[in-house]
Amino acid sequence: MKWLASALLIVVVLLQYRIWLSDDGVRDVRRLETAVATQRAENDQLAERNRQLAAEVRDLKSGMGALEERARSDLGMIAGNETFYQVVPPHSVAQGTDHHTRTAAR
């Protein structure tokens, strides 16, 4: 009877070792859970980006307002009845001139 209890104790210890300390035990499960959580977060970000892109496509297909806005912001275009004015602050022009002067002096 004593040897049977010893054998069972050895089996339990070996099983516990395999569960807690081996590469395919609890450590691997935790690593996989972390990887799954990271992938889910990335998937959520990509799904949100896809929703935004789909909304932008719908806007571009549905009307000229979104198309005009895109042309203005991305391409710098203006409408035929508009006048473009570029306001340049005086201090930035002076800094730009000084920068060119310093670059040429080197």
pLDDT digits (tens, 9 = 90+) for 15-57: 887 777 777 788 888 889 999 999 999 999 999 999 999 988 8
Residues 84/78, Cβ–Cβ less than 8 Å? yes
* pTM of the predicted protein model: 0.48
Task: Please give the Cα distance from 53 to 66 (Å, whole number).
Answer: 13
State the residue for tokens 């719908």. Answer: 58
Residues 60/70, Cβ–Cβ less than 8 Å? yes
Considering the chain, what percentage of its residues have pLDDT values greater than 70? 86
Q: What would the two tokens of residue 24 be?
A: 């395919």
